[in-house]
Amino acid sequence: MVKILDLKKSSTILDARGPRFGAGITTAVLSIALATNNLWVITIQAIVFAIGAFKGPQFTPYAFVYKKFVKPYLKGETPAEDIRPPQFAQSVGLLFAITAIVGLLSGVEIVFTLAVAFALGAAFLNAAFNFCLGCEIYLLLLRARSK
């Protein structure tokens, strides 16, 4: 029998432009990380991902920049978004950032490069094309896990 969860029961609602702006900054930071192989740059991004994943995307420093310096200048209707999709994306970003850090610390540079490249690709897609990571990979993960 089919059971339908209450999908309409939403959690916190955000300004959808906030996470997308954050993805723009993330794109820049991950580009710097990829170009420099710098441990501190990827660590800072990992901390930002961790705040977004565990506390919520509205609490990251990038969200603070958005609220303080960008939002006041935006006009028009505020597009609303459930907190869960961007929070999921931040969790995936955190996993890739941790993988990159482990790769760098253990001297396996290719692991660092690939992990940062995937995270950069996803962040750029989110910022430029409003790509929804959870839409594309969450179901695949569910299907793979319960096979």
Partner 1 sequence: MNSLLPIVIVLVLASVYGIWYVRSRGKVVIKAGKGLITAQMIDADLGSRATLVQFSSAFCTPCHTTRLLLEDVTAEMSDVAHVEIDVESNLELVRKLDIRSTPTTLYLDARGHEVGRAIGAPKRTQVLSVIAAIAN
Residues that bind partner 1 (CB under 8 A): 1-5, 7-8, 10, 16, 31, 34-37, 81-82, 84-85, 88-89, 113, 117, 120-121, 124-125, 128-132, 134-136, 138-140, 142-143, 146
Nearer to partner 1, 3 or 68 (CB): 3
For 81, the 3-state DSSP assignment is strand
Nearer to partner 1, 76 or 146 (CB): 146
Nearer to partner 1, 2 or 68 (CB): 2
* CA separation for the pair 23, 135 (Å, rounded): 16
What is the widest separation between alpha-carbon atoms in the chain? 54
CB atoms within 10 A of CB 85: 18
